[in-house]
């Protein structure tokens, strides 16, 4: 169940912090993926968390691990994009 919660946390983090929040902070400037975030990611992510709560599988440790795992998965592509310009990873020499 933890892996499902990690991916649900990933969907919620992506929807809120990378699509919905930028639109709110820029006073309505459109963000690609906003419709998908609102129509798919939020309902699916919330449904998984709701189901886990109803099943009684949520405790403090599970919540923390799931959110941390989702945040790490979300951060991974950003880190890789930053690293690709490092000297070690350049293939043009």
Element (H, E) at 26: none
What are the CA-CA distances from residue 92 to residues 5, 24, 74, 84, 89 (Å)?
41, 40, 28, 12, 9
- Give the helix ranges, DSSP H, for 16-92: 21-25, 34-36, 42-55, 60-83
- The tokens 């930053």 sit on which residue? 82
**Per-residue pLDDT at 84:** 82
Q: Supply the pTM of this predicted model.
A: 0.84
Nearest alpha-carbon partner for 10 in 39, 38, 45: 45
User: In this predicted structure, what is the pLDDT of residue 93?
Assistant: 63
| pLDDT at site 89 | 75
The per-residue b/e assignment along 40-62, b for 16 or more CB within 10 angstroms, e otherwise, is ebbeebeebbeebeeeeebeeee
**What is the average per-residue pLDDT within 25-38?**
90
In tens, the pLDDT along 70-93 reads 999 999 998 988 888 887 777 776
């Amino acid at each position: 169940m933890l892996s499902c919660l990690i991916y649900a946390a990933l969907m919620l983090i992506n929807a809120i912090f990378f699509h919905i929040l930028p639109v709110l902070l820029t006073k309505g400037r459109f963000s690609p993926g906003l419709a998908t975030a609102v129509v798919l990611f939020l309902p699916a992510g919330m449904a998984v968390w709701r189901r886990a709560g109803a099943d009684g599988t949520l405790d403090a440790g599970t919540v923390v691990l799931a959110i941390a795992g989702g945040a790490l998965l979300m951060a991974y592509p950003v880190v890789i994009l930053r690293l690709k310009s490092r000297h070690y990873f350049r293939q043009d020499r």
